[in-house]
Amino acid sequence: MFVADLWREHSLKLHRQDTFKLSRDPDFAEKVADIVGLYLAPPAAAVVLCVDEKSGVQALDRTQPLLPMTFDKTEKRTHDYVRHGTVNLFGALDVATGKVTGECYQRRGSEEFLAFMKTVTAQYVNREVHVVVDNLGTHFTPEVREWLAGNPNITFHRTPVGASWINQIEIWFGLITRQAIRRGTFSSVPQLISSIENYIANWNADCKPFTWIADADTILAKVRWVESEVRKLTVH
């Protein structure tokens, strides 16, 4: 009982774990300040978009029918499945409104990325647009750079290497994964795509922006603390 009381007193939950990854990007602090500045104080009348791809989304079909949840039993599904193929989900989150634009492609190349960006930015003609993206090579090919040069109202902002958590579309990808994809049963790729499109439509019917409260100083202080803890464990 003493041990259990001690855990409760100090809010220790030994069954829980968190993950972390320290970015080694030499421009980490600068990039964090840039992106968080867009979240907390965007330029007047500008649009801030968070863009990324969720690759290899699988159309998984369980080998036996799913047993739905009842009042006294949990939902049950078989552990084994049939894999009917994959699709790549491109997503863009409007930080101010929470609206999501999403499209599915069979490939995740530069051609698909550029086509998606043209679709997304067509909604904001003659507006200043700031786009948060990661460092994937397909985001910065000569074709993409040429398109940006021809559209000076659009600016890309790179996330720090190894810090995808700062891109708000990742939050939304986590939601659709837990609420629609992972729990779904799909007999084909078209059925998976239809489920994704329905989720996006329902999301946008009542969308709200995510509330970002951490400023750059708070984030950098937390990172410095993690770095100091890692150094303590690695010093011999």
pLDDT tens column, 148-174: 999 999 999 999 998 889 999 999 999
Phi then psi dihedrals of residue 133, to 5 deg: -135, 160
Residue range 9-55, pLDDT digits in tens: 877 776 676 665 667 778 899 999 999 999 999 999 999 999 999 99
Q: What is the pTM of this model?
A: 0.86
Choose among 218, 224, 205, 185: nearest CA to 76.
Answer: 185
Domains of the chain in start order, with CATH, are 25-65+76-215 (3.30.420.10)
Beta-strand (E) ranges in 26-94? Answer: 47-62, 81-94
Q: Which residue, 5, 20, 14, is CA-closest to 228?
A: 20
Cα–Cα separations (whole angstroms), residue 86 to 76, 185, 198, 200: 24, 13, 18, 18
